[in-house]
Structure 1
Amino acid sequence: MAPGDDGTGDRRGRRAVGALAYLSVPVVLVALPLVPLAAVLGPGGLGLAGPGAAGGLLAAVVVGLGGSALGGPLLVDRWIAGLPEADLDDRPANFVADRVSTLADDVGVDAPAVTVVRAEAANVAVTDGYRGSRLVVSTRLLSLPEADRDAALRHALVRLRTRDPLVVTAVLPAVAVVETVALLATLLVGRRGERTAGDRRVNRIHGYEPDRDRVPAWAYTVAGVLCWALLSPAWVPAAVGDRLTVAGGRRDADAAVARGGGDERTGLGNAVAFASDAAGAADWPPLLDRLSFVSMADGETGRVRGTSRQEARIRLARLRSKRAL
C-alpha cells in the first residue's frame, strides 16, 4: 500500500462487488425456474407467443429483487417483535436512546430506532430498509464497561453508514432459502442407513427384513448432489456476498472504530473477545446473525452465518496488533 493510502478505495470496491453478488441471489433463485419456462413458452418454443428468455430474465430481476427487498424488512421486523424486550425503566431506556443518538452524530448517521432485548448473548445488530433503520441490542452487551459498550455500538453505526445492513436486509429472504436448501443437500449427501450390518443380520434371523422397503443410502446421496448442482448458481454469489459484504463489512467497521484512538481500539477488542466467548448464543436469532456485531453459532447445526468460525479470532488479533487495520 502506498504511503498515505488507507485502502478506502479497495474497501469500497470489495463492498461493491459483495453487494452486487448478494443482490444477484434473489434474481438467480427466481430465474432458475422462470427463464427456462419463459424460453419454452416464448417465440420459437411450442409455437406460443411469450416473453422469451430475455423477458423471463427481466421478470426475474423485477420479481426477485423487488420481492426480496419488500420481504426482508418485514421478515426482520417480525423476528424482532418476537424477541423478549427488556423491561427498562424510563431513565435507563432514555439513556440508551440518548447514547445511541450521540454516537450516531459522531459517526455521521441518523440515529436508528433502538430495541433493547433481554438476552444472555452480548450482541448488537443493525437493520435497514424502507421501514427505517433499527438497532437491536442485548441487555448483556449494555452491561459491559462503558468503553467496550460504546465501541460495539459505534461499530454497528459505522456499518449503518456504509449501507451494508441495507443490502443484507434486502436479500435476507433469498439468502435464507439458499442456506436452508444447502443444509438440506448436505444432510442428504451425508445420510447413512440407520441400521448396521449386525442389526440387519439379527433382523433376518427373526424373519424381518425392513431394509427391503427402505430408500437406499445412495439415493439420498444422488438427491443431495442434484440439490447442490441446482443450487450452486445462487450459492456461489451468496458465499461471495457473505465474505465481502458481511465479514468484510465487519473488518472495515473495525478499522473505522480503531482509527478513533487507542481507547476505542482497546474497547472494541474487549467487546469482540467477550461477545464471541459469552454464553447465550441460543438467545440470539440466527436471522440477525449477518447483521450483528459478532456472529453467533447456531445451536443445532453448529455453524455460523455470513462468516467463518475463526472470524472473531482474526478480528481480535488484528485489533490487538500494533499495525494499522
Structure 2
Amino acid sequence: MGGHGRVGRAVGAVALLAVPVVIVALPSVPLFALLGPVGLDVFGPGAVGGFVAAAVLGVGGSALLGPILVDRRIDRLPEAGLEDRPADFVADRVATLADEVGVDAPSVIVVRADAANVAAVDGYRGSRLVVSTRLLSLPQDDRDAALRHALVRIRTKQAAVTTALIPALALVETLALAATLLVGRRDERTAADRRVNRIHGYEPERNRVPSWAYAVAGLVLWLIALPAWIPAAVGDRLYVAGGRRRADAAVARLGASERDGLGNAVAFASDAVGAADWPPLLDRLSFVSMADAETGRVRGTSRQEARVRLARLRSKRSL
C-alpha cells in the first residue's frame, strides 16, 4: 500500500471515529458549557469537559453496542440448513484460505439469501464470516476470491473498526434518509385527482399537511444530522469503500486466477438480483455494497463503486 493509501485510510478512520463523538457532543457540550462556572461558554472548562465526555461516551458506547447490534441482526437471519458434510467443507475451506491470508480462521455462518455476498464481522464472539448460499454456489475460484477478500478485511482490522462504529453510522444514515425523504415528499393528490374527486362530489380535506411543511422539516433534520453526516460520508468513502479496494489489491496480487476470480465475483454480486435480500446493517461489512441508489448518495458513495472496482480488476495495471 502506497503512502497515499495509508493517508486515506488514516483520514477515513479518524472521520469514522468522529461520528459517535459528534453525536454525543451535540447535546453534551452545550449542557456542560451551560453548567460551567461562568455560564454558557463554548470555550470554557465546562465545554472542554463536554468534549471529553463526548469522546469517551461516543466511541466507547458505540464500541460496546456495535457487536451486540450486529450479533442480534445475524441471529435473525435464516440459516441455510446445510448438512454436516457441506458445512464442514465450508469451514475447512475458510480455514485453509485464512491460513494463506495469515489470519486466524473465523467461524462461518451460512445464511439462506439470494444476494451473493459475504460479511466480515469482528466483535465479542471473535471474527466471523456471514456467507450467503448464493455466494457458495459460485465457481470455486470466484467463491474463494470473495472469501479471501473478507479475510483480508479481518486481517487489516477494518471489520473490527466498522463493527464497532455501526450504531453511530446507522443512526446518521437513518436521519439523513428520513430528511431526504421529507424534502422530496409531494402532495399525494395531483391536480387531475382533485378534478376527478370534485366531479364525483368529493372534495379532499383542506387541512392536509402541505408539501412545503415536509420540506422544512426535512431541512431542519438535515441541519441536525449534517455535523455527523459529513465525517460519516468521508469515512464511508475513504475507509469503508477504500478498504474494499485495498482488499481487492491484496487478493489480486496473489496471481492472475485470484484476480480474475475476484473480478467475476464482484461482477456477479453487483448485477445479480437479490440485493434486497441482504441486511442493510451488514452492508458496510460486506464484500460488495448492496445499498440502493438513495442510500448510496446519503453515504457519499454510489453504485458506481462496484463498476470502478471491476474496471481496476479487469485492467492489467497494478492496483
Which of 36, 39, 45 in structure 1 is aligned with 2:30? 36
1:12 aligns with 2:3: no
Deviation for aligned residue 1:167: 1.2
Deviation for aligned residue 1:237: 0.4
Deviation for aligned residue 1:201: 5.9
Using the TM superposition, name which of 276-285 and 63-72 deviates more.
Answer: 276-285
Deviation for aligned residue 1:204: 7.1
1:252 aligns with 2:246: yes
Deviation for aligned residue 1:125: 0.6
Question: 1:120-176 CA deviation, whole Å, 9 max, x = no partner?
Answer: 111111011243111110111111111111111001111111111111111111111
Report the AA paired with residue 217 of structure 1. S
State the match for 2:148 in structure 1. 154
Is the Cα–Cα contact under 8 Å of residues 43 and 52 in structure 1 kept in the other structure?
A: yes
Distance 2:310 2:192 in 1: 50
Aligned residues: 314
1:174 aligns with 2:173: no
Listed as ranges, the matches of 1:215-294 within 5 Å are 215-294=209-288
Is the Cα–Cα contact under 8 Å of residues 109 and 130 in structure 2 kept in the other structure?
A: yes
Deviation for aligned residue 1:53: 0.8
Distance 1:256 1:209 in 2: 61
SS in 2 for 1:215: coil
Change (3 A) 1:58 1:209: same
Distance 1:323 1:131 in 2: 39
Is the Cα–Cα contact under 8 Å of residues 260 and 313 in structure 2 kept in the other structure?
A: yes
Question: 1:27-84 CA deviation, whole Å, 9 max, x = no partner?
Answer: 101111111111112221289xx97111111111111111110111001111111111
TM-score (norm 1): 0.91
Distance 1:131 1:37 in 2: 37
State the match for 2:316 in structure 1. 322
Is the Cα–Cα contact under 8 Å of residues 303 and 309 in structure 1 kept in the other structure?
A: no
Distance 2:132 2:114 in 1: 7
Report the AA paired with residue 145 of structure 1. P
State the match for 1:4 in structure 2. none
Is the Cα–Cα contact under 8 Å of residues 177 and 295 in structure 2 kept in the other structure?
A: no
State the match for 1:54 in structure 2. 48
State the match for 1:210 in structure 2. 205
Report the AA paired with residue 76 of structure 2. G
SS in 1 for 2:126: coil
Report the AA paired with residue 235 of structure 2. G
Question: 1:74-110 CA deviation, whole Å, 9 max, x = no partner?
Answer: 0111111111111112221111111111111111111
Distance 2:221 2:35 in 1: 25
Change (3 A) 1:76 1:209: closer
State the match for 1:3 in structure 2. none
Which of 190, 203, 215 in structure 1 is aligned with 2:184? 190
Report the AA paired with residue 74 of structure 1. I
Is the Cα–Cα contact under 8 Å of residues 295 and 307 in structure 1 kept in the other structure?
A: no
Deviation for aligned residue 1:198: 4.7
Change (3 A) 1:147 1:37: same
Report the AA paired with residue 74 of structure 2. I
Is the Cα–Cα contact under 8 Å of residues 129 and 170 in structure 1 kept in the other structure?
A: yes
State the match for 1:102 in structure 2. 96
Report the AA paired with residue 239 of structure 1. A
Long gaps (5+) in structure 2: none
State the match for 1:126 in structure 2. 120
Identity of aligned pairs, percent?
74
SS in 2 for 1:210: coil
Change (3 A) 1:124 1:165: same
Change (3 A) 1:139 1:32: same
Report the AA paired with residue 210 of structure 1. E
> What is the aligned-residue RMSD (CA, Å)?
2.1
Is the Cα–Cα contact under 8 Å of residues 127 and 165 in structure 1 kept in the other structure?
A: yes
Report the AA paired with residue 273 of structure 1. A
Distance 2:20 2:253 in 1: 36
Distance 1:35 1:316 in 2: 44
1:140 aligns with 2:125: no
